[in-house]
C-alpha cells in the first residue's frame, strides 16, 4: 500500500465516520441505514444497464414470462450471493478488489485481472452508449448530442471531490430505473400467467430450444452477474469507509438493491411480453421497443421506456468507468478515490474519462453494429465470470485477511454453485458455437 493520504481526505473520512458512530450510539437504525446505504443499491441498479434492459425486453417479446421470468429472479439471487461476499470483503480489508488480488496473488495476477477488467469494461461501456443513443433517438436527440451529454454527466465525478456527494447524486439518477414498473402496469398484464410462471417455472417448448435460446439464457445471466460488479462494490465500500461493524448494513443495502433490480428487470420482461407475436425482437433496439409499445401504453408509457433505457446506460456507464479507474489506481499504486480532486488523483480521473470517451466515440462510428453487440457483451460477461468468482472465493476464505468474517460453509457452497452454474452455461454455449448440432440435445 504505502500511499500517503492528503489531510483533506482524512478529515472528510473522519467526519463521515463520526456521523456513523454518533448514529450507532444513539441507536438510530434508519439514520444508520441512510448513512451506510449506497454501494449495494448502486451496483445492482447499475447492473440493470442498457444491454440488460434490452436483453430483458427481447426476452419478454420473444418468449413471454413463462420460463424467463423466474430465471431473472434466480439470477439476481445469484448476484446477491456474489455481492454479499464482496461487501464483506471490502468492509474487512478496506481496500479494492484489484489491490487485494495484487497483494495476495502477485503482480502477474493483479495486472491480468485489471487488463481483463478494462477490456470487458470498454466492451460493456460501448453497449451502455448504444442504449443511451437508442433511447435518445426516441425523443429525436442526435447521437452526438446524446453521447456528449452522457460524457458531461459522467465528468461530474471530477467536480464532486467527495465520495458521499457523488454517491447520492448517482443514487438519485439510478432511481429512474424504476420507470419500467409503471410501464409494465400500463400493459395490463395477465397476472395469472405471471403468478403461474413464478410458481411453476414453465419449461420452454421443445421447438424453442437451440443455440439462440442458450445465448439468450446466458445473456440474462450475464445481465445480473458480471465481474465489474465485484471490483466496483469492493472499491466503493472501501472509499465510502465502511468497517467490519457495518457489514450487516452493507448486506442489507445489497439485498435491497437486488430486490429492486429484480423487480425492475421482471417488469421489463412483463412489459414487452405484450409485444409477443407482434414484432421481431431481433430487429428492435431501445427506441423501436418503445415505439412498438406506444399503441399499448401510449406516448407517456413509451417515453418512460425509452427514458429508462437511457438512464440504465448512463448509471452503468458512471459505475463501470469508475470501477475501471479504481482498479487501475489500485494495481499501479496511483491515487484512487472520489474524495480526491483531479489534481490529487489525475490518473484516476484520467482513466475514468478516457474509457468513457473511447466507448462513446466507438458508438458514433458509422455502420457500427450496435444491436448485435448487446447480447454478445452479456455472454462475454458470463464467460469471464468463473475466474472472477474463483479469486473472490479464495480471498473470502483467507483467514489471514478475513479472520472471523471469512466465508461460512453455506456461503462457500452457494458461491461454488453460482460459479459452477455460470461455468456450465459458458461451456454449453461455447460447445454450441463449435458444434451447432449439439443444440439438438435441448430439443
Cite the beta strand spans of 16-78 per DSSP E: none
Instruction: Read off the C-alpha cell for 346.
Output: 489525475
The reported pLDDT for the residue numbered 443 is 47
Q: What is the largest CA-CA distance in the chain?
A: 65
Q: 1 pLDDT exceeds 60? A: no
The region of weakest confidence among 104-108, 190-194, 331-335 is: 331-335
pLDDT at 114: 84
Residue 15 confidence (pLDDT) above 80: no
Higher-scoring residue by pLDDT: 349, 421: 349
pLDDT digits (tens, 9 = 90+) for 24-34: 888 888 888 88
Domain 38-442, CATH number (from 2.40.30, 1.25.40, 1.20.1740, 1.10.3470): 1.20.1740
Query: Has residue 41 got a pLDDT over 90?
Result: yes
pLDDT at 83: 94
For residue 212, the model assigns a pLDDT of 65
Please report the pLDDT score of residue 281 as a whole number.
Answer: 56
**pLDDT at residue 177 above 50?**
yes
Higher pLDDT pick, 383 / 316: 316
Q: What SS3 class is residue 108?
A: helix
Residue 435 has pLDDT above 70, yes or no: no
Which residues are within 8 A (CB) of 168 and not within 5 positions of it... i.e. 6 or more apart?
A: 38
Closest listed residue to residue 325, CA positions, set 147, 127, 166: 166
**pLDDT recorded at residue 430:** 60
Q: Domain locations in the chain?
A: 38-442
Q: What is the pLDDT of residue 234?
A: 93
Each residue's pLDDT tens digit, 187-218: 999 888 888 888 888 776 665 555 667 767 77
pTM above 0.75, yes or no: yes
When pLDDT is cut at 50, 70 and 90, the band that residue 436 belongs to is low
Q: What is the CA radius of gyration of the chain?
A: 21
The per-residue pLDDT for 434 is 54
Dihedral class, residue 274 (left if φ above 0, else alpha if ψ from -120 to 50, else beta): alpha
Q: What is the pLDDT of residues 237-255, one digit of tens each?
A: 988 889 999 999 999 999 9
Mean pLDDT along residues 54-61: 85
Cα first-last separation, the chain: 54
Q: Which pLDDT score is estimated for 40?
A: 94
pLDDT, position 124:
85
In the predicted model, is pLDDT for residue 233 greater than 90?
yes
Find which of 119-123, 209-213, 229-233, 370-374 is predicted with most confidence, using mean pLDDT: 229-233
Tell me the percentage of the chain whose pLDDT exceeds 70. 84
Q: How far is Cα 67 from Cα 77, in angstroms, rounded to an integer?
A: 16
pLDDT in tens, 354-387: 999 999 998 888 877 666 666 566 667 667 778 8
Q: What is the structure's pLDDT at 369?
A: 67
Q: What own/partner pairs with CB < 8 Å and gap ≥ 24 does 16-20 have?
A: 16/164, 16/240, 16/241, 17/241, 17/243, 20/246
Mean of per-residue pLDDT scores for the chain: 83
| Cα–Cα distance measured from residue 325 to residue 319, given in angstroms and rounded to the nearest whole number | 10
- Whether residue 4 is predicted with pLDDT greater than 70 in this model: the reply is no
Q: Give the pLDDT confidence of 283-311 residue by residue, as tens digits.
A: 555 567 888 899 999 999 999 999 999 99
Amino acid at each position: 500500500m504505502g500511499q500517503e493520504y492528503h489531510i483533506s481526505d482524512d478529515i472528510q473520512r473522519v467526519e463521515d465516520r463520526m456521523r456513523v458512530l454518533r448514529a450507532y450510539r444513539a441507536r438510530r437504525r434508519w439514520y444508520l441505514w441512510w448513512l451506510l446505504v449506497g454501494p449495494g443499491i448502486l451496483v445492482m441498479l447499475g447492473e440493470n444497464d442498457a444491454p440488460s434492459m434490452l436483453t430483458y425486453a427481447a426476452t419478454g417479446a420473444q418468449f413471454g414470462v413463462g420460463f424467463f421470468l423466474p430465471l431473472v429472479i434466480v439470477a439476481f439471487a445469484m448476484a446477491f450471493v456474489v455481492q454479499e461476499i464482496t461487501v464483506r470483503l471490502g468492509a474487512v480489508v478496506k481496500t479494492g478488489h484489484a489491490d487485494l488480488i495484487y497483494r495476495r496473488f502477485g503482480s502477474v495476477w493483479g495486472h491480468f485481472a485489471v487488463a481483463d477488467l478494462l477490456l470487458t469494461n470498454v466492451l460493456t461501456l460501448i453497449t451502455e452508449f448504444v442504449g443511451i443513443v437508442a433511447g435518445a433517438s426516441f425523443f429525436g436527440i442526435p447521437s452526438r448530442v446524446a453521447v456528449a451529454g452522457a460524457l458531461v454527466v459522467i465528468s461530474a465525478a471530477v467536480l464532486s471531490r467527495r465520495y458521499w456527494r457523488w454517491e447520492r447524486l448517482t443514487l438519485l439518477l439510478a432511481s429512474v430505473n424504476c420507470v419500467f414498473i409503471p410501464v409494465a402496469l400500463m400493459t395490463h398484464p395477465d397476472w395469472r400467467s405471471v403468478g403461474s410462471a413464478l410458481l411453476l417455472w414453465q419449461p420452454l417448448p421443445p421447438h424453442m430450444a437451440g443455440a439462440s435460446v442458450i445465448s439468450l439464457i446466458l445473456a440474462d445471466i450475464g445481465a445480473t452477474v458480471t465481474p465489474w460488479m465485484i471490483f466496483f462494490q469492493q472499491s466503493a465500500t472501501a472509499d465510502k469507509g465502511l468497517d467490519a461493524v457495518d457489514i450487516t448494513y452493507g448486506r442489507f443495502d445489497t439485498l435491497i438493491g437486488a430486490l429492486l433490480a429484480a423487480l425492475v428487470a421482471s417488469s421489463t420482461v412483463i412489459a414487452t411480453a405484450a409485444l409477443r407475436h407482434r414484432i421481431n425482437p431481433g430487429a428492435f433496439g431501445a427506441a423501436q421497443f418503445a415505439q412498438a409499445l406506444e399503441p399499448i401504453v401510449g406516448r407517456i408509457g413509451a417515453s418512460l421506456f425509452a427514458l429508462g433505457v437511457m438512464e440504465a446506460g448512463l448509471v452503468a456507464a458512471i459505475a463501470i468507468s469508475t470501477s475501471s479507474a479504481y482498479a487501475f489506481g489500485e494495481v499501479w499504486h496511483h491515487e484512487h478515490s472520489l474524495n480526491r480532486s483531479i489534481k490529487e488523483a489525475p490518473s484516476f480521473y484520467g482513466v475514468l474519462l478516457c474509457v468513457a470517451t473511447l466507448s462513446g466515440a466507438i458508438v458514433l462510428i458509422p455502420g457500427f453494429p450496435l444491436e448485435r453487440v448487446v447480447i454478445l457483451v452479456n455472454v462475454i460477461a458470463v464467460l469471464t465470470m468463473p475466474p472472477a468468482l474463483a479469486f473472490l472465493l479464495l480471498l473470502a476464505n483467507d483467514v489471514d485477511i478475513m479472520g472471523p468474517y471469512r466465508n461460512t460453509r453455506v456461503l462457500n457452497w452457494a458461491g461454488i454453485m453460482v460459479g459452477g452454474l455460470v461455468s456450465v452455461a459458458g461451456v454449453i454455449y461455447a460447445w454450441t458455437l463449435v458444434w451447432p448440432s449439439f443444440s439438438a440435445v435441448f430439443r
